[in-house]
Structure 1
């Protein structure tokens, strides 16, 4: 079949950006490769997906794959978004900029809720999208059953565009309901046009009429034609398909097999004629048609030899090599453009409207930033991204295996975080830890592998320390005295303190009730500082919180008393008070909201209970059919690997949000074990 055979309708010119997205292991990368192979862009293997060492090692996509293709005179950039929830956050920066998305799915009821997460994001961004029902050649369900299975995942009606042709229980081709033509699959080649099989003619008529009825819901003229039993012209049908796709009124569903390259050409034709272009995308984003050149960064890549690359979509105008570009971080000079195709890079001299190219050496630009091509008048366009990365749900404490690499570690992690905003780097001075936080165990594992392979920094990964605290249960009165004579001026400070517990979360408070100048007023602040010094390490070995100290009396020496002497006396007295105050261990408790498909709620409650969690309540997740929300309080010490267990129990769809809520007492054997592990004194309540 020739390249232009069976072409139809008008098309939108200009380079287009298309995302491939869908649940984990639904076949996105295979479709990515099949699309590029079909247009001849996959020669010599340069278009293969998952080329990074980490992707190969784990046999899964761990970053977006990028490929360019020319098809019938049109230019396309395809971006394959990882399906695992641990890596799918890249979609946050890509999807707003795409002209359309192809959602790759399969007739698998276990993946419907993961599909729902994908479709909801596209719906909220108002991104036109197609469904590609993959693995149709091995499906256990008919296409109508599959449609009924998938529809609950989409708030927008799914529009069946093709039905399979079956032979001996195997899908050997399809009938296109818009074209009213039958096609037989050919392995890794365009399908062959054949006559509609006699046994499928009646079903084709029925399904085509259902498709037209759905389109007529938004087109009164088409509805009138159907009522009058007038066959609508083919161009009118395709115009309606394009219009309603772009308006977000329908989601066309195509079928095929990415592994065999089946159904790929018809998908390319649909993208060519029905997907919008950069003009419509610009309007969706609220970007003016007129103004200086404007682009937005959708991904940052630090290469070994080529330096920093900022993959950006040009929304308006043209950028040229050597031109100044203004980002929120400052002005840079563009050092070339690159067209990425798997592991290959080809240079370009300019980036025109609609292009998605890598801009070289924009050191001040970050993922999500807008770039203006006019530093003088374009400052209003050079804005920081408003897209928030997902909150981290897994953490590791890092320690360089070689102490010489400690400075190198900070620099390498900074580059990883620049590439992946979902990674969070924290230098926790209170816990003396460097922590890396992310979206799951695999997300952080890949980050550590990149530290070793790309930056030569090997690290030891540990479970982060829990920020335990301690407090006292009873009030005590003590006296702290510091006297030292070593020739010349000595040191003298003497304080009487009343130390008592405070309500949980109220912190440390200091006051004084000194009469008759027993302690001069100028030393009050030193006494307060000395009391605070003693709170750094209590009798159990942890920081002390929620206590008050009242200075009630004391004495001083006109020559030997000083700020330091009174500070030391107060620290001595406060330490003695804490030792007598019946210390108790406190652990941080987190308020956790778990979102899970309803069928996974019983497993989620079991997970919470098994982690010393307290369930506060549960109910339907508002606005999400088939989902529940679970509210709980869980100790921070029990949060390790919660996301791993939760996803395992919910077919990869469950997730949670957490925030600090309060400190709670820990008593008995658990408290003794924590104190012993920390090296403190085993002085705690039974």
Structure 2
């Protein structure tokens, strides 16, 4: 593929609800443009963009893939993103690298939560959007219903530019509202035909002349001169319509709607034409605000003669070919064997081999100009890094990813594989910034955090399939604690005689509640009842003892110990004997001081649609939560509920929230403090965690 100027490149992310036809649309665009010589199918596992074993098995996208095509005078980079909410991090990467987002909407199921998520993410990043209504060949598809939905849910920016003409529940032609021409398909080729009659339009539920008028009205809003021309009654030229929609997309006031069938390919060539005419190249939309080494803001324009700057938006950890870094070039040009500055770390790196991708197929490239997307092989950079020429060191803002909230404990199936898991997870965390893997010191478990059950399955599958290490997962243990409720004074006496020197240590210790998480040790011994040189041994014995409580073996908090008396033997007393005596006193003191179990309580902030607030309040009550308040969220139609909930009740909350809100809900949850465990739950916790005396 030849090198293209930044004015002749289109970077397009394809996003939307899972199952809305993103990968099939990618396949259709590649095939129709001549980039591929066959039309792959998801059911056959032979599409260009879903090529990993996980994707072929699941029959859905798990990763954002890169492919490209040539149409007219443009190179188009396609970023096919997953629609499943568990893989939202991949969608973030694809949309961040794009210049425009095609949002697929099934003609059968219409606007879904994933449609809104893709649209919101695109708008948050300032990306122009276009809706593509798919699956029009399905018997249950209804374009009019979908168009009505789009207008109702996304407002007056929605502007149809290609619509189907339907007669007897079948598509007979498509109307391009910009050209004001109709096309029918004969042997897969578009042939101009008559515009639909008024009678046909009435039966479809939308009038073509009314839609043409709506397009003109939308275009009139983009420019003062066009506004005056529209209201003077003059018709727009085709160029004025095209330029107006193009301008409206760039400014975010127009979201065009087109439609296709990816199976019989009708409408796909018309979409390619709209990509040519309407979607912005990097030269128009890729100016970035960076930060210099002095912390000053600087605008980086998409100019090839400027110093090179680029952003790593995705990483693939391939154990066979090494690290693959997906890079968007924002200025200058990137070439192999060039030394660049990693502005994120301050280090100097050498650019290795550069390739572009057609799914899994690698194609060598000599250089990547500004506006283009390329993959660097075996380069020591990570996702969110900025690389640049030393002549202008600038750093771009990192992408923001959803936080992983679905937590499971992980352990190796084979003894000795723990180090393999750590090494593999380090590689996977470089690749996926929505997973986390770390030790929970309070339970001594390794905790894997992901975005959901499917995401967890994918990570576990990668560990086994790619890195050769099998793991088992389980619900994480709850880090309960133990404490006391009253003050007691007890004796701990250790005496042992077995020939020769014996062992003797005797202490009296007062135990009382306090507010410290750590043991507080004091001594108030008078008259040398316990020599000072044994005080450290007593403290050490207590410090070791508080690691296990007497109820269920959990660490003890809120405990103050005061050594007040004791006795010793001039020959048989030793540090070990006094450690043992302190341990005996601890166990007896804990039993007498009314020990209780404490459970961790977390602070919850959960955002749900307004319609789900009642259900969520009820759910939190069932989970022993205390609702502290409700606040209107920044996003319209959403409410924030603030509550405190025991951590033991949160294991399945991620899945419950997704099911209740159809994926719209999000939450954060952090440990806040400990509180006494309700009496009716104590016996069960003790039974599951009881320790031998």
Query: What residue number does 1:312 align with?
Result: 327
Query: What residue number does 2:294 align with?
Result: none
Say if 1:111 and 1:651, in contact at 8 Å, map to a contact too. Answer: no
**Could you tell me how far apart the structure 1 residues matched to 2:579 and 2:504 are?**
10
Is it true that 1:323 corresponds to 2:327 in the alignment? no
Q: Secondary structure at the match of 2:424?
A: helix
Query: What residue number does 2:359 align with?
Result: 342
> What is the CA-CA distance between 1:575 and the residue it aligns to?
3.1
Say if 1:333 and 1:361, in contact at 8 Å, map to a contact too. Answer: no
**Deviation by residue 1:653-674 (Cα, 9 ceiling, x = unmatched):** 3333211133232244532222
Say if 1:113 and 1:597, in contact at 8 Å, map to a contact too. Answer: no
> What is the CA-CA distance between 1:126 and the residue it aligns to?
0.8
**Could you tell me how far apart the structure 2 residues matched to 1:250 and 1:522 are?**
82
Say if 1:110 and 1:651, in contact at 8 Å, map to a contact too. Answer: no
Query: What residue number does 1:121 align with?
Result: 121
2:547 pairs, out of 536, 539, 542, with 536
1:17 pairs, out of 11, 20, 29, with 11
> What is the CA-CA distance between 1:232 and the residue it aligns to?
2.2
Say if 2:80 and 2:94, in contact at 8 Å, map to a contact too. Answer: no
Query: What residue number does 2:195 align with?
Result: 196
Query: What residue number does 1:581 align with?
Result: 593
The equivalences for 1:218-617 within 5 A come to 218-286=222-290, 287-289=299-301, 291-327=306-342, 328-329=344-345, 330-363=347-380, 365-374=381-390, 377=391, 380-381=393-394, 386-481=398-493, 495-503=507-515, 508-513=519-524, 527-539=538-550, 540-554=552-566, 569-617=581-629
Query: What residue number does 1:217 align with?
Result: 221
Query: What residue number does 1:65 align with?
Result: 65
> What is the CA-CA distance between 1:34 and the residue it aligns to?
0.9
Say if 1:130 and 1:253, in contact at 8 Å, map to a contact too. Answer: yes
Q: Secondary structure at the match of 1:296?
A: strand
2:34 pairs, out of 17, 21, 40, with 40
**Deviation by residue 1:452-511 (Cα, 9 ceiling, x = unmatched):** 1111112222222221222222221223455678999987765433222235x8654444
> What is the CA-CA distance between 1:32 and the residue it aligns to?
1.0
**Could you tell me how far apart the structure 2 residues matched to 1:185 and 1:138 are?**
17
Query: What residue number does 1:5 align with?
Result: none
**Could you tell me how far apart the structure 2 residues matched to 1:171 and 1:546 are?**
74
Aligned length: 664
Say if 2:16 and 2:117, in contact at 8 Å, map to a contact too. Answer: no
The alignment's TM-score, normalised by the length of structure 2, stands at: 0.87
For the aligned residue pairs, the C-alpha RMSD in angstroms reads: 3.2
> What is the CA-CA distance between 1:263 and the residue it aligns to?
2.2
Say if 2:490 and 2:589, in contact at 8 Å, map to a contact too. Answer: yes
**Could you tell me how far apart the structure 2 residues matched to 1:348 and 1:22 are?**
31
Range with bigger deviation, 83-92 or 258-267: 258-267
Q: Secondary structure at the match of 2:55?
A: helix
**Could you tell me how far apart the structure 2 residues matched to 1:350 and 1:522 are?**
74
**Could you tell me how far apart the structure 2 residues matched to 1:333 and 1:612 are?**
56
Q: Secondary structure at the match of 1:455?
A: coil
Say if 1:595 and 1:627, in contact at 8 Å, map to a contact too. Answer: yes
Query: What residue number does 2:295 align with?
Result: none
The equivalences for 1:140-155 within 5 A come to 143=143, 145-151=145-151, 153-154=153-154
Q: Secondary structure at the match of 1:55?
A: helix
> What is the CA-CA distance between 1:28 and the residue it aligns to?
0.8
**Could you tell me how far apart the structure 2 residues matched to 1:487 and 1:588 are?**
49
Structure 1 residues 590 and 430: alpha-carbon distance in aligned structure 2, compared to 1, 3 A threshold: closer
Q: Secondary structure at the match of 2:86?
A: coil
**Could you tell me how far apart the structure 1 residues matched to 2:83 and 2:62 are?**
9
Structure 1 residues 435 and 628: alpha-carbon distance in aligned structure 2, compared to 1, 3 A threshold: same
Query: What residue number does 1:649 align with?
Result: 660
1:658 pairs, out of 657, 666, 669, with 669
**Could you tell me how far apart the structure 2 residues matched to 1:615 and 1:402 are?**
44
Q: Secondary structure at the match of 1:179?
A: coil
> What is the CA-CA distance between 1:564 and the residue it aligns to?
6.4
Range with bigger deviation, 494-503 or 25-34: 494-503
Say if 1:41 and 1:47, in contact at 8 Å, map to a contact too. Answer: no
Q: Secondary structure at the match of 1:499?
A: strand
Structure 1 residues 178 and 126: alpha-carbon distance in aligned structure 2, compared to 1, 3 A threshold: same
Say if 1:295 and 1:314, in contact at 8 Å, map to a contact too. Answer: yes
Query: What residue number does 1:6 align with?
Result: none
**Could you tell me how far apart the structure 2 residues matched to 1:606 and 1:172 are?**
51
Say if 2:335 and 2:366, in contact at 8 Å, map to a contact too. Answer: yes
Q: Secondary structure at the match of 2:8?
A: coil
Structure 1 residues 416 and 265: alpha-carbon distance in aligned structure 2, compared to 1, 3 A threshold: same
> What is the CA-CA distance between 1:528 and the residue it aligns to?
4.4
**Deviation by residue 1:285-341 (Cα, 9 ceiling, x = unmatched):** 454237531211111112242111111111111222222233335333222112111
Query: What residue number does 1:680 align with?
Result: 691
> What is the CA-CA distance between 1:444 and the residue it aligns to?
0.7
Structure 1 residues 281 and 556: alpha-carbon distance in aligned structure 2, compared to 1, 3 A threshold: farther
**Could you tell me how far apart the structure 1 residues matched to 2:655 and 2:73 are?**
46
Is it true that 1:76 corresponds to 2:76 in the alignment? yes
**Deviation by residue 1:190-243 (Cα, 9 ceiling, x = unmatched):** 533222122267922222222222232342212211221111222222211111
**Could you tell me how far apart the structure 2 residues matched to 1:625 and 1:172 are?**
40
1:30 pairs, out of 24, 31, 36, with 24
Query: What residue number does 2:638 align with?
Result: 627
Say if 2:7 and 2:283, in contact at 8 Å, map to a contact too. Answer: no
Q: Which segments of 5 or more consecutive residues in structure 2 lack a partner in the other structure?
A: 41-45, 291-298
> What is the CA-CA distance between 1:543 and the residue it aligns to?
1.0
> What is the CA-CA distance between 1:248 and the residue it aligns to?
1.3
Q: Which segments of 5 or more consecutive residues in structure 1 lack a partner in the other structure?
A: 1-10
Range with bigger deviation, 87-96 or 71-80: 87-96
